């Protein structure tokens, strides 16, 4: 009997993750209206263990919060907790800290992320 994870069943972990992350995407990066400064307390459904309060003025904590919210937050969490400018500023490093599936979905939906992720070409 075939299971959802067996070959030929039509489902793959990649497809499931891609669909999960795609349905959570905001309509645009401009919809990300979260705070730029101060302390943010993540809801339990986003951060159910470990650190829940993040000081956005501390770069390492901010990066950790963005990583957690991108991976675990629903669409409403993304638009309420993430800030467009901070996301764009952090993306070149942040993209290396999140899963490949999550990174691929965000970069496919928002080409401006890919543009800032590309290494600069040295001047001749």
User: For position 117, what pLDDT does the model report?
Assistant: 62
Residue 13 pLDDT > 70:
yes
Map residue 55 onto helix, strand or coil. strand
Residues 29 and 87 sit within 8 Å (Cβ to Cβ):
yes
User: For position 17, what pLDDT does the model report?
Assistant: 80
Q: 11-20, 61-70, 109-118: which has the minimum mean pLDDT?
A: 11-20
Q: What percent of the chain has pLDDT over 70?
A: 85
User: For position 57, what pLDDT does the model report?
Assistant: 98
Residues 67 and 73 sit within 8 Å (Cβ to Cβ):
no
Would you put residue 82 in left (φ > 0), alpha (ψ -120 to 50) or beta? beta
Which of 28, 25, 36 shows the shortest CA–CA distance to 85?
36
Domains of the chain: which residue ranges? 13-113
Alpha-carbon distance of 103 to 110, in angstroms, equals 10
């Amino acid at each position: 009997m075939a299971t959802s994870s067996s070959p030929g069943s039509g489902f793959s972990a990649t497809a499931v993750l891609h669909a999960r992350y795609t349905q959570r995407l905001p309509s645009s990066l401009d919809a990300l209206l979260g705070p730029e400064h101060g302390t943010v307390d993540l809801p339990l459904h986003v951060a159910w263990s470990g650190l829940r309060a993040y000081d956005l003025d501390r770069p390492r904590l901010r990066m950790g919060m963005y990583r957690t919210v991108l991976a675990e937050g629903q669409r409403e969490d993304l638009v309420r907790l993430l800030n467009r400018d901070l996301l764009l500023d952090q993306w070149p490093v942040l993209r290396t800290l999140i899963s490949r599936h999550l990174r691929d979905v965000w970069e496919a939906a928002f080409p401006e992320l890919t543009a800032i992720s590309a290494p600069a070409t040295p001047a001749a």
